[in-house]
Amino acid sequence: EADIYQTPRYLVIGTGKKITLECSQTMGHDKMYWYQQDPGMELHLIHYSYGVNSTEKGDLSSESTVSRIRTEHFPLTLESARPSHTSQYLCASSDLNPMSYNEQFFGPGTRLTVL
C-alpha cells in the first residue's frame, strides 16, 4: 500500500541535542515537503524538494536542514535543538504530474518537545 511514514511520532529531548526526523514515502513522488505546525494549527512550509539532490528553503525561516539522497527519503535534522523548536512537524509528498494538481499526501507527523 502506498503511504508516507514519519518516525518517531513523539520525541522529547534536552536542549543542545542533535536530532533527525525521518520521512519516507512509497508512492514514488518526486516532490516532498516539511511543514511546521504551531499550536494554533497554522501550517508553515520550512523545506521542500523537487527530487534527488534538490532542496529549497520554504516560506518560514528554520534552523533545520534537509537532505534528499534517495527519492523516497527526506530527513530533517536539527544540529542543536532548543525549546523554540518545540512543535509538530509534518512531512508531505506530491507527484510532478500536472494532472495531480499539486495534491499533497501527508504523514502522521512528529511531535517534538525540547526541554
Partner 1 sequence: GDSVTQMEGPVTLSEEAFLTINCTYTATGYPSLFWYVQYPGEGLQLLLKATKADDKGSNKGFEATYRKETTSFHLEKGSVQVSDSAVYFCALSENRDDKIIFGKGTRLHILP
Q: Which residues bind partner 1 (CB under 8 A)?
A: 4, 6, 31, 33, 40-43, 45, 48, 50, 90, 92, 94, 98, 101-109
Identity of the residue, 14 or 39, whose beta carbon is nearer to partner 1 in the bound complex: 39
CB 95, min distance to partner 1, A? 11
Cell of 42: 497554522
Angle, vertex CA 92, rays to CA 15 and CA 31, nearest 5: 115
Could you give the CA distance from residue 80 to residue 58 in angstroms, rounded to a whole number? Answer: 20
| Pairing state between β 10-13 and 110-114 | parallel
Would residue 12 be called left, alpha or beta, if left means φ above 0 and alpha means ψ between -120 and 50 degrees? beta
Identity of the residue, 13 or 43, whose beta carbon is nearer to partner 1 in the bound complex: 43
Task: Please check whether residue 87 is in contact with residue 76, taking contact to mean a CB–CB distance below 8 angstroms.
Answer: no
CB 98, min distance to partner 1, A? 6
CB 41, min distance to partner 1, A? 4
Could you give the CA distance from residue 79 to residue 16 in angstroms, rounded to a whole number? Answer: 8
Identity of the residue, 44 or 73, whose beta carbon is nearer to partner 1 in the bound complex: 44
Identity of the residue, 17 or 58, whose beta carbon is nearer to partner 1 in the bound complex: 58
CB 79, min distance to partner 1, A? 25
